[in-house]
Chains A and B, each alone.
Chain A
Amino acid sequence: MTTVAPFGTGDRVDDAVTDLSASTVRRRKSIGDVLFVIPTWLFMLVVGVVPAALAVWLSVTDQSLTSGSGRFIGIQNFVLAVFTPRFVGSLGVTLVFVMLGLIVQFVLGYLLAAALHRQLRGFQVARTVLLIPMLLTPVVVGLVWNFMFNPDLGIIGAILSLFGVSVNFFANASLAIGVIVLIDSWMFTPFVMLMLVAGMTGISDEVRQAASLDGANWWQLTRYIVLPMLKPVITVTLVVRCVDIVRLFDTIYTTTKGGPGTATSTVSLISYATTFQYYDFGQGAAMAIALTVLMFPVYFLYIRLTKV
């Protein structure tokens, strides 16, 4: 499931606090206020800060099953696991998923949002139905599509065979990539749609009407009025989707398992396999750390967009 932080583009952090301590009731800053976030801090330390620090430590020590001694070996794990064709290939696969996923989901999501925004009869039913896929269990969604694309029993193969086409989607590299993009888009195009609809309700009709009166056609209206005004929402939506596609794991795991060959092996998949199938914790951690470091600019943007 996709999660969104409270995003905003306007006022920064501290100005946005509607603060009791600034009101007439309580004038002094209270250290006691920290008590409210102590449980949050505890959980963030246990599942976030400590594991992240430990992951960095694992990535620079010898942690393989055979020779694992836990001693410091510098960048050796990175040399063996990250600066390799396998890792670079998986990075390429991840990038392809991000690019294709974002394009498909944005284009379709925008068109659906525009359709939904007209609020014609039945739009609420459509919104309810389209809400469902993004909430579903990704592992099970993967199994469902695995079944749909099954070469022997799958309905998609059966439909295609009516046109004399017979293909095994899981044996062809480009088709397998297409299947993964399709599954992710099936789940999350409606998410993009909901975000854009929410953004569209913020655009006043008067602006559109004025442009319309001046003779702007649909494309000009979209290109010069709607898209520029939606820019903040679009940025947030695409950043969220990018972050989520980069860590895509469950749906790949229950469909292509990274195959055929390494055609759909993302960084998450090879890092998982290195760690939990070949038991090389050091190299697995090095791959995961490398991915995170490469994603820093996007994470930084995410934090900056967050209006906490």
Chain B
Amino acid sequence: MKTPSIFGKLATQASLAVACLIAVFPLAWVFLTSLKNTRDATSAASEALSFTPSAENYLGVLSSPGFLHAALISALVTITSTLAVMVIATLGGYAFARLRFPGRRTLASVMVIVQVIPVVVLIIPLYRMVSELGLYDNWLAISVVMSGLSIPFATWLMLAFFRSSPIEIEEAALIDGASRIQLFRYVLIPMVAPGIATAAIFTAIAVWNSFLIPVVLGQTEAQTLTVYVAQFITFQGIKWGPLCAAAVLILAPIVLFALAMQRPLVKGLTAGSVK
């Protein structure tokens, strides 16, 4: 290939820089607005940069019982679902990678269907099922459903990690007389620990971001942050300052994770798709 020209290099870098600016701009804008008081937030956009930063919005949001309760529910749902999915996906991923159990094809197909089916199909009957069981507005119900919906992707991720780890070590352990539990405890789990961490991050983000399931299965007692924040727009005259502060607080953990763990995230997103 001929040596790329300086101009070509610059154009390439410039286009990536523009893409990055477009990716970041809305977030920066919302962060900026979150630091404004009510008057500055509603002033014309041409004066957007002339304001005195204030923590008013954050103090307001963080002292609101509705926000704190929703944050607690979101955290509970996210943590319980993630823990459940980590265990189940590790077992399932191992089985799909190493064992020839009956019903393998059927289970795989069912899991893919759960992964792709429009959530509205499932949410209508799930609402009826949850209501019949008396679990409406109970965070546990949201957690169970979100775990179920997250299991397929996490399992495929674990499958990819088990497949790429050497089978000889397992065979050696089994020849040495290790039991299944010992095999898992001392050989497999340490070997696929990065995979488990990756699956956990993806599950946590997916559950934290979920909206349609929580909004249908619990509006008040089990209100999550996404449901809480979506309510802002139904009010007359949106208070953009507090809304932006709430948005920043919801997005911040994800952005921090993305910056800290970009390698496993990139690997996880494209896992198994390319040989």
A residues touching B (Cβ–Cβ < 8 Å)?
1-10, 13-14, 17-26, 29-31, 33-34, 36-37, 39-41, 43-44, 46-52, 54-55, 58, 111-112, 115-116, 118, 120-123, 125-141, 143-148, 150, 153-155, 157-159, 186, 190-191, 194-195, 198-199, 201-202, 205, 208-209, 212, 233, 236-237, 243, 246-247, 249-250, 253-254, 267-268, 271-272, 275-276, 281, 284-285, 288-289, 291-292, 295, 298-299, 302-303, 306-308
Interface locus among B51-59, B60-68, B190-198, B251-259: B251-259
Contact status of A43 and B151, CB under 8 A, knowing A20-B170, A126-B19? yes
What 1/0 flags go to B1-34 for Cβ under 8 Å of A? 1101000010011011101101110110110010
By a CB distance below 8 angstroms, the chain A residues around B29 are: 144, 147-148, 155
B92 near A146 with CB under 8 A, answer no
Are A157 and B243 in contact, CB atoms less than 8 angstroms apart? no
Contacts of B102 in A (CB 8 A): 31, 34
Q: Is the CB of A51 within 8 A of B129?
A: yes
For the complex formed, measure the closest distance between the CB of A171 and the CB atoms of chain B, giving whole angstroms: 16
User: Within 8 Å of chain A (Cβ to Cβ): is B265?
Assistant: yes
Listed A/B pairs (8) with beta-carbon separation below 8 Å: A6-B160, A29-B100, A34-B103, A37-B92, A120-B12, A153-B45, A194-B270, A306-B156
B116-148: CB near A (< 8 Å → 1, else 0) gives 111111111111110000000000000011011
B contact set with A: CB distance below 8 Å: 1-2, 4, 9, 12-13, 15-17, 19-20, 22-24, 26-27, 29-30, 33, 41-42, 44-46, 48, 87-89, 91-92, 94-105, 107-129, 144-145, 147-149, 151-153, 155-156, 159-160, 163, 167, 170-171, 174-175, 202, 205-206, 208-209, 211-212, 216, 226, 229-230, 232-233, 240, 243-244, 247, 250-251, 254-255, 257-259, 262, 265-266, 269-275
Give the chain B neighbours of A155 by CB distance below 8 A.
29, 45, 48
The answer to whether B244 and A36 have CB atoms under 8 Å apart is: no
CA of A250 to CA of B123, assembled, Å: 14
Most chain B C-beta atoms within 10 Å of own C-beta, residue among A2, A5, A115? A5
Contact of B205 among A111, A135, A307 (CB under 8 A): A135
Query: Across the two chains, which residue of chain A brings its CB closest to B183?
Result: A20
Which A residues are in CB contact (< 8 Å) with B258?
Answer: 128, 131-132, 135
> For B112, what are the chain A residues with a Cβ–Cβ distance below 8 Å?
5, 299, 302-303, 306, 308
Check B107–A17 contact: CB distance below 8 A.
Answer: no
**Which residues of B sit under 8 angstroms from A41, Cβ to Cβ?**
107
Specify which of B100, B122, B255 is in contact with A21 (CB 8 Å cutoff).
Answer: B100
A5-B152, A208-B1 given as contacts; is B91 within 8 A of A40 (CB)?
yes
Residues A194 and B12 in contact, CB atoms below 8 Å apart: no
C-alpha gap A217/B170 in the complex (Å): 51
Whether B274 contacts A202 by the Cβ 8 Å rule is yes
Known contacts A29-B100, A202-B274, A281-B124; A1/B16 CB under 8 A:
no
A140 touches B272 (CB 8 A): no
Inter-chain contact A52/B45, CB cutoff 8 Å = no
Chain B residue, CB-CB nearest to A162: B46
**In the assembly, what is the distance between CA of A208 and CA of B151, in Å?**
40
Find chain B residues with CB under 8 A from A237 CB.
273
The answer for the CA separation of A306 and B170 in the assembled complex, in Å, is 26
Contact partner, B91, options A26, A39, A49, A51, Cβ 8 Å: A39
Among B33, B104, B233, B250, which residue has its beta carbon within 8 angstroms of that of A146? B233
Q: 12 more A-B contacts (CB under 8 A) besides A18-B163, A20-B98, A115-B15?
A: A5-B156, A6-B156, A18-B167, A47-B145, A130-B23, A153-B45, A158-B48, A233-B274, A237-B273, A267-B118, A291-B118, A292-B117
Shortest CB-to-CB span from B252 to chain A, Å, is 11
Asked if B117 contacts A52 (CB within 8 A), the reply is yes
User: By DSSP majority rule, is chain B's interface helix, strand, loop, or mixed?
Assistant: helix
Docked-complex contact A44 and B247, CB < 8 angstroms: no
Quick one: closest B residue to A298, CB to CB?
A: B116
Q: Are B269 and A13 in contact (CB under 8 A)?
A: no
Nearest-neighbour CB distance to chain A for B67, whole angstroms, equals 13
Distance (Å) between the CB of A138 and the closest chain B CB?
Answer: 6
Q: How far is the CA of A253 from the CA of B120 in the complex (A)?
A: 13
- The answer to whether A36 touches B23 (Cβ under 8 A) is no
**Which residues of B lie under 8 Å from residue A7 when comparing CB positions?**
272-273
A137–B210 Cα gap in the complex (Å)? Answer: 7
Asked if B110 contacts A44 (CB within 8 A), the reply is yes
Q: Which residue of A lies closest to B121 (CB)?
A: A288
Contact of B233 among A1, A4, A50, A254 (CB under 8 A): A254
Are B273 and A17 in touch, CB under 8 angstroms? no
Min C-beta distance of B101 to chain A, whole Å: 4
Partner of B128, one of A14, A120, A281, A307: A281
Residue of A nearest to B90 (CB): A36
C-alpha gap A224/B123 in the complex (Å): 45
